[in-house]
Structure 1
Amino acid sequence: MKSYLYQLLFMAIFLTGESVAYAQESSLDLLSEDDYIGEVPKVLTVSRLAQAPADVPSAVTVINRETIRASGIVDLPEIFRLVPGMYVGTNAGYVYNTNHTLSYHGMTTAYAGTMQVMINGRSVYSPLFGGVNWSELPIAIVDIERIEVTRGPNAASYGANSYFGVINIITQTPSETPNNSIVATHGNGRNEVFYRHAGKADDFSYRVTTGYRQDDGLDNRNDFKRTRFISTQAEYLLDSNDNLEFEFGITDGARGEGNINEDNIIFLPRTKKIDNHFGLIRWRHNISDTSDLTLQAYHSYDHSDDVNTTVDLRPLIAPLDAGLAASLVNGNVVINNEVVQKRTDIEAQHTFTLASNARAVWGASMRRDSTYAPFYLASKNTDYFDLLRLFGHVELRPHEKLTVNAGAMLEHNDFTGTDISPRASVNFKPNANHSFRFGVSSALRTPNYVEEKFQNRLVIPTTLANPSALIYQYRANKGGVEPEQIVSTELGYIGEIGRLHLDMRLFSDRINHVVRDVRRTNFTVPVNTYLLNPDIDRDVFSSENQGSAKVEGIEYQANWPLTRNTRLLFNHAYVHIRETQDGLKRNYIKSMPRNTISTLITHRFNPQWDGSFAYYQTSATTLLGDGDPVDLIRKCDVRLARKFDYGRRNGEVAIVVENLFNDHYQEFADYNTLKRRARINVKLDF
């Protein structure tokens, strides 16, 4: 493995010189580098301070809007295949949500909850499962300005769910948006259209985006999605020192859920209705040239209305009593799988200068989550989860070649009490082209509702005097789950070798108190019930802390302008998970592909035509939960686009083919078979 990395590095250094010479001779001088997959000079998310990439305390990948455009991607989670160390699975799961799953460095389930995901600083992960309902986010890709991905624990800045990393999706401000835009997509199983309008009246600017998505899903799945949404973003300049920002969004529609297999008698194929909305207000106040204050508050509401009917249970219970079977209304049971989740969050943040070589940020927030999920929590009552946070970060520059970062987050929540997550790093820049980073961070992941309180008890009334009910139960958590802990050590490098921009990270993560499913041998049957399965003591699971693991590896990202009009973006990650204490299942060790590779080559033929070629590869893996062993995956995508400009009207037409060679590969599980798909994307600004 080491020799392989050395060969790649040597080849990059050698070819850089060749590419520079070629670029000087052959450049068409059509676009500046920043116009075509350029770079963002400052990173805003990692420490909550605006910092150059060479000064941040953790590894970070920035994906700008030009990279998103060049990739031709229409599903937001797919763009994260261009982040080293990231696993992306299509249409994972069938219990609560058929959705993309995203994880960094493994421990991957269909509802991966080890990453904090935000839109403009607003957290969007689900309190119930911890993951993100990507297809229900009221956001259009055309509105995204850039995405900042912190690769590594960042609980010091954003709390417990920032366990493996943080994704912050930053949208365009209303003043950056064209007056009117129409974006449409048509292709195999996919149709969508968006319209956005931006305007300004004196000191008030706004943008409104509305759209409709129709995704038919995979051929062998009940995973269609039909969603409508509208989102607004506005800014009001009160005076030279004060600015108000507003955001609001609504999503509604339906999606297909469920799957048929020999173990599934509850979550059959069905249609689930969804309706969500959120509102946010943010006040930015400039206290002085060296001091800024931000106050924000937001509220979100997520609702899925799901009434599920089981298979005919009579074959399972007929041996018990004929009258009992008849009482189930033809053997079927109706399940109330409705879920309502609400979140209210208030946060204050103060950024200021301590000295000429020192800056700091500190703040506090309080949050309340409420969850109504009668099937999962075995109660018709709404459950509440409160969270209080206090955070701070300091950046010191004791020398022009040295940057020191230190910060921590103190949290108190209803599940695990009081926790603290610290982080520190030293960045050394021997010259303007090279920077080395050594950092240590610790993070705690608070258990979600599934891990702490999940019961999924199905009680079926019967006509028998004794017992009075029939019970089906797959999970019965005992509660009291401790937070998982990660201690991450990393050595990073950011540099320019000729025209090659290289970002490398060596990491070693120690994970303790791993939360996993264990069989309950001491499960107590409720009074006046009869077990649907007499062997239920062997089939009931509970989430408990068992085992520890070590995650080690190397990842790097190369951004290489081969010519002025051709650019190569190459990502590779090697991740090795090993058990360090008894208790982990073998599939935890395999819960991340050992190697992931992604490549995006873009080329500008002339001012009107450009194209791209993308290659993605993941080695064999076995995902957790609803996942299955899947083999090596290789996928190629191509895109060809033409821009047009007719005075005040301009736009682009692009043809995209995914899985060019039509490899029928399986992703996440054996019930997901992906085939070739083609589509046309059209964008018009006027």
Structure 2
Amino acid sequence: MTIRFAHCFLVPALCCGLAARAQDASLADLSLEELVRLDVTAVSRKAQKLSDTPAAVTVLSAADIRRSGARSVPEALREVPGVIVAQIGAGRWSVGVRGGEGRFSNKLLVQIDGRSIYSPLFSGVFWEALDVVLEDIERIEVIRGPGASLWGANAVNGVINIITRKATATVGSLVSATVDDGGHSSLSVRQGISLGDAGALRVFAKGSELGGSRTRDGASEPDYNRGWLAGFRMDGAGSGVDAWTLQGNSSRRTSGENIIATSLTGEPAPLSLDFVFESASLLGRYNWGLAGGEASIQAYVDHQFANVGTYGKGTVNTADLDFQHRLVPYGVHEIMWGLGGRMLQTEIAAASSVLSITPPRRQSRVFSAFVQDEITLVPQTWKLTVGGRFEYSSRSRFEPQPTARLMWTPNMEDSVWASWSRAARTPSIGESDATILFGAQPTPPGSPFPMVVLASRPGEGWNRRAERVDTLELGYRRNLGNGSFEAVLFHNDYHRLISEQTDPNGLVFPTSPLPVAPFVAPIQYLQRGSQSAARSHGIEVGADLPLTAALRLQASYTLMDTRVRRSADAAANATARHLEESAPQHWGSLRMTVNLGGGQEFDVAARRVGAIGTGDVPAYTAVDLRYAWRVNRYFDLYFIAQNLFDPLHLEYVSNFFPGQPVYQPRRAFIQGVWRF
């Protein structure tokens, strides 16, 4: 179903000057100096100034998101240092931090208001299933580097913390509509209701459709992504230690793409694959004063369903409980501790002979405790933070995840910090339980069988231990009046990486034909296990420079290199090459924002991304433009052009399903936002 209602909205809205109230105060109204001093919560689970944070962290404000022209969360992340974003197709993204790029970046933890959207089915985020009302986002906090000492397993290379605005800040009505040059449109509606002394309620809904990808020769690619989102958020009138929130949402999205499978004759077999994603969640959080300190308890339930075409379908049900307590400072110590528990029920129903799951149903539990001590060594100059999270999973057993961070602040403008951290990633259900037939290769002439089927399965005796990384970081940050500069060096040592090796038992003959008559082909298994290791290192640089009151420049650059331990096994070396070549070695961006006066804004952004692999995805340069006009106090109009000087380019080829390369064209769209 193509959503055409946006066409009907934009033209009438241009002509309307309706009397209304605009109660949409946001971070967009903050000064640049205030933006530099934004609070960040993802690093230490408490509000602290960005300039006082001993970690590589970037905060995207509501104004940054709006002026980026983004229509999705991944697009808004494109210019964050250390974050590499590539579009695979309509609504399909690869998002990685310090490498680890891929369809499901399995070393990146993503949260929305404290609720993890990391899926244990594939160890990653279904970006094509994620949709939010961008106007409701207060800020996005991006930690580069491990965050597992506070947030737990899977926060290996980074944490993305999406924080939406309180309902008390969104009283009133909002309608946002977008339509692009291909006729794909979206519509978001929001109503905020004041509840007086009890707080406020926000209800919202969104429908959207994405498309417009191209093949190598510029022909239309029949991939698509469409769906809807609806939900609510209720907040009490209090703040800080006297605050509570209740949130719920439900969504459904469908997505389609073309993949290239290998038939049992060894020939490429184009296949159309359709996905259905459904989700629902309910979250509650309450903050209060406890023993002179601050305490918080959060609980949520979450349901995810994915139907992956003809391959099968999976369901994940999660119940999560988290408690934390920040004690009254005692001398030079400021201690925070917490407990957590999570229960997951997963079920995968394989609907094809190419996939089997044993067991098809699982119930797993995770129990955790964390403690963190922030020690003031020299007031306003030296600070040491030590702590760790101790996590027990019924699947990967006990995992300690400690950290130590030292920060030196010689003056009000400069800060230097160094850290060591350890983090772990638990194997996905697919990695630990699945047997997958993924291809075939012809045999030499005269062989008693025409081909050999290739399959992957868990290795015999594999203990399913979590992957582990030890990370060293050295960072420098300087406040430049209303701007800032940051540079970070990092080194990662990865251990127990999951990889594949050729089964030494040789070919296995199945007891029944596989799976196309008249062939009875032997199978060569590749065994999965925790048998690889890797190292990566690099540098990230970011600058935010307000040149005048109306002109601002933002720049970022990342350079990194990854090396994976080689072995004598060809399959293991193929896995190693893939890990080394899954992300470019360097990428950078430059953005200029101009306030033209009269309620007008002009933004131009350029990014350069290096090649991925050995030329599979060539390097490219992209330029985007945005013009915004505040027609009146109630209505804003945006014109956005993407890939302005590049009619067609490739950003990524899916590494999960063997995807057909999908190219991104030059595109333009118009957006109207009406507040009343």
Shorter chain as denominator, the TM-score bin is 0.7 to 0.9
Q: Does 1:440 align with 2:420?
A: yes
Distance 2:646 2:539 in 1: 31
Please state how far the C-alpha of 1:544 moved relative to its aligned partner: 2.0
The residue aligned with 1:324 is none
Please state how far the C-alpha of 1:271 moved relative to its aligned partner: 3.2
Please state how far the C-alpha of 1:307 moved relative to its aligned partner: 4.8
Distance 1:193 1:351 in 2: 41
Instruction: Tell me if the contact between 2:296 and 2:324 (Cα under 8 Å) persists in the aligned partners.
Output: yes
1:349-407 per-residue CA deviation (whole Å, 9 max, x = no partner) reads 11122325432211111112222212255358422222111111111112120111111
Match among 617, 637, 641 for residue 630 of structure 1? 617
Distance 2:52 2:553 in 1: 25
Match among 284, 288, 312 for residue 281 of structure 1? 284
Distance 1:302 1:257 in 2: 21
Please state how far the C-alpha of 1:660 moved relative to its aligned partner: 0.3
Match among 301, 306, 319 for residue 303 of structure 2? 301
Please state how far the C-alpha of 1:596 moved relative to its aligned partner: 0.8
Instruction: Tell me if the contact between 2:36 and 2:484 (Cα under 8 Å) persists in the aligned partners.
Output: no
Match among 651, 656, 681 for residue 671 of structure 2? 681
Please state how far the C-alpha of 1:457 moved relative to its aligned partner: 6.2
Instruction: Give the letter aligned to residue 679 of structure 1.
Output: F
The residue aligned with 1:463 is none
Match among 383, 390, 407 for residue 410 of structure 1? 390
Q: Does 1:77 align with 2:102?
A: no
Please state how far the C-alpha of 1:275 moved relative to its aligned partner: 2.0
Instruction: Tell me if the contact between 2:143 and 2:158 (Cα under 8 Å) persists in the aligned partners.
Output: yes
Q: Does 1:47 align with 2:29?
A: no
Range 491-500 or range 385-394, more displaced: 491-500
Instruction: Tell me if the contact between 2:36 and 2:482 (Cα under 8 Å) persists in the aligned partners.
Output: no
Instruction: Tell me if the contact between 2:436 and 2:455 (Cα under 8 Å) persists in the aligned partners.
Output: yes
Change (3 A) 1:353 1:222: farther
The TM-score normalised by the length of structure 2 is 0.84
1:532-570 per-residue CA deviation (whole Å, 9 max, x = no partner) reads 4766543x3332223322111111110000111111110
Distance 1:244 1:159 in 2: 24
Match among 354, 358, 372 for residue 329 of structure 2? 354
Match among 649, 658, 671 for residue 665 of structure 1? 649
The residue aligned with 2:497 is 514
Equivalent position SS for 2:276: strand
The residue aligned with 2:7 is none
Distance 1:295 1:266 in 2: 52
Instruction: Give the letter aligned to residue 280 of structure 1.
Output: L
Instruction: Tell me if the contact between 1:37 and 1:64 (Cα under 8 Å) persists in the aligned partners.
Output: no
The residue aligned with 1:64 is 61
1:415-450 per-residue CA deviation (whole Å, 9 max, x = no partner) reads 221010100011001100000001111111111112
Match among 194, 207, 210 for residue 205 of structure 2? 210
Instruction: Tell me if the contact between 1:340 and 1:372 (Cα under 8 Å) persists in the aligned partners.
Output: yes
Q: Does 1:599 align with 2:579?
A: no
Match among 444, 448, 456 for residue 475 of structure 1? 456
Q: Does 1:529 align with 2:532?
A: no
Distance 2:356 2:296 in 1: 37
Change (3 A) 1:534 1:484: farther
Please state how far the C-alpha of 1:339 moved relative to its aligned partner: 1.6
Distance 2:29 2:278 in 1: 43
Please state how far the C-alpha of 1:515 moved relative to its aligned partner: 1.5
The residue aligned with 1:9 is none
1:172-217 per-residue CA deviation (whole Å, 9 max, x = no partner) reads 0011114100001100343100000101112131111101011124
Structure 1 segments unaligned to the other structure (5+ residues): 1-30, 309-334, 459-470
Please state how far the C-alpha of 1:257 moved relative to its aligned partner: 3.6
Please state how far the C-alpha of 1:36 moved relative to its aligned partner: 9.3
Instruction: Tell me if the contact between 2:229 and 2:251 (Cα under 8 Å) persists in the aligned partners.
Output: yes
Q: How does 1:447-458 map to 2 (within 5 A)?
A: 447-456=427-436
Please state how far the C-alpha of 1:83 moved relative to its aligned partner: 1.1
The residue aligned with 2:409 is 429
The residue aligned with 1:5 is none
Instruction: Tell me if the contact between 1:620 and 1:630 (Cα under 8 Å) persists in the aligned partners.
Output: yes
Distance 1:252 1:598 in 2: 34
Change (3 A) 1:371 1:32: closer
Distance 2:509 2:359 in 1: 18
Match among 172, 188, 208 for residue 165 of structure 2? 172
Q: Does 1:227 align with 2:227?
A: yes
Equivalent position SS for 1:547: strand
Q: Does 1:612 align with 2:610?
A: no
Structure 2 segments unaligned to the other structure (5+ residues): 1-27, 216-220, 439-451, 654-659
Q: How does 1:482-521 map to 2 (within 5 A)?
A: 482-497=465-480, 500-521=483-504
Instruction: Give the letter aligned to residue 476 of structure 1.
Output: R
Distance 1:685 1:499 in 2: 30
Please state how far the C-alpha of 1:235 moved relative to its aligned partner: 1.5
Query: Between the two proteins, what is the percent identity of the paired residues?
Result: 24
Equivalent position SS for 1:397: strand
Instruction: Tell me if the contact between 1:183 and 1:194 (Cα under 8 Å) persists in the aligned partners.
Output: yes
Please state how far the C-alpha of 1:661 moved relative to its aligned partner: 0.9
Distance 1:499 1:40 in 2: 9
Please state how far the C-alpha of 1:236 moved relative to its aligned partner: 3.2
The TM-score normalised by the length of structure 1 is 0.83
Please state how far the C-alpha of 1:230 moved relative to its aligned partner: 0.4
Q: Does 1:369 align with 2:359?
A: no
Q: Does 1:194 align with 2:188?
A: yes
Match among 264, 269, 272 for residue 269 of structure 1? 272
Q: How does 1:312-351 map to 2 (within 5 A)?
A: 337-351=312-326
Distance 2:146 2:222 in 1: 35
Equivalent position SS for 2:367: strand
Instruction: Tell me if the contact between 1:556 and 1:571 (Cα under 8 Å) persists in the aligned partners.
Output: yes
Instruction: Tell me if the contact between 1:440 and 1:487 (Cα under 8 Å) persists in the aligned partners.
Output: yes
* CA root-mean-square deviation: 2.7
Equivalent position SS for 2:77: helix
Instruction: Give the letter aligned to residue 549 of structure 1.
Output: A
Distance 2:318 2:222 in 1: 30
